[in-house]
Amino acid sequence: MSTQPPAELMSVLVGVHTMPGKHSRRHLIRMAYALQQQTPALRAAARVDVRFVLCARPMPPEHRVFVALEARAYGDVLVLDCAENAEEGKTYTYFASLPTMLGSGSGGGGRPYDYVMKVDDDTFLQLDALADTLRSAPREDMYCGVGLPFHDRQFPPFMLGMGYLLSWDLVEWIATSDMVRREAMGVEDLTTGKWLNMGHKAKNRVNIFPRMYDYKSAKGEDFLENTIGVHQLKQDLRWAHTLEHFNVTRLEPSNMLLHNF
């Protein structure tokens, strides 16, 4: 009988960047990811924590109360000291705040997480496909997403803002770099790539194009079999089409009758 200890479970923090007033959208996303997190395959492959990332400025009183209710009820809301504008340093504040906020944590090598993701609130992720891709990826000096140019498989200069990941060591570097702090403002996805390029970081770049892509239609042929993410889900109907295609609810017809659908 083997006495080898179990391998360290890979860990990913998914930070969904959203705005205070989008309460119903957060609830939809929360349910979609909670169902995926319960699957045995994902639980055996990785620890994936989903958090909603908001800025405290400006936040009208009614949103402040409702966000506080969400935070107390679900424990998945991060409210940062920043302006609610992607081009005014929100992404910088997100990454730079995490080392102090999370400490050393329980991830591999004393890290709270192996990878940290920034993702838009109009992007749906297939968490098992994401975890499967990351299983073979480097855990140091790693930058992963849909790279531009799309077909630059080796070293794309930046990843599109629909969703990208950094290894934990790069998050720590962002938090301590004076250069990054000075360059915090600008078009969000371009700016993150600029930090890494100026700092000669992210030697390991993983371009997942075309597996994360913009929504086209509800037709089955417009969704890829090996999808990691679908972007541009700005309307609830697009979310419904996408969740139905990937059978996120996993309801069989007999179960649907029991649920009065």
Residue 119 has pLDDT above 50, yes or no: yes
Nearest in space to 201 (alpha carbons), one of 220, 179, 219, 217 = 179
Establish if 104 belongs to a structural domain: yes
DSSP sequence for 143-201: EEEEEESTT--S--SEEEEEEEEEEHHHHHHHHH-HHHHHT--SSHHHHHHHHHHHTT-
What's the whole-number mean pLDDT along residues 177-186? 98
**Rounded to two decimals, what is the model's pTM?**
0.91
Establish if 4 belongs to a structural domain: no
pLDDT tens digits, 126-172: 999 999 999 999 999 999 999 999 989 889 999 999 999 999 999 99
191 close to 96: Cβ distance less than 8 angstroms:
no
The CATH number for 24's domain is 3.90.550.50
Nearest in space to 124 (alpha carbons), one of 12, 40, 235, 252 = 235
pLDDT tens digits, 76-87: 999 999 999 999
Establish if 3 belongs to a structural domain: no
| Cα angle for residues 189, 55, 76 (degrees, 5° grid) | 95
- For the chain, the domain total comes to 1
**Residue 57: domain span:** 10-258
Establish if 2 belongs to a structural domain: no
Establish if 233 belongs to a structural domain: yes
Q: Which residues pair with 54 in a beta bridge?
A: 79
% the chain with pLDDT above 70: 91
Establish if 1 belongs to a structural domain: no
pLDDT at residue 244, rounded to an integer: 95
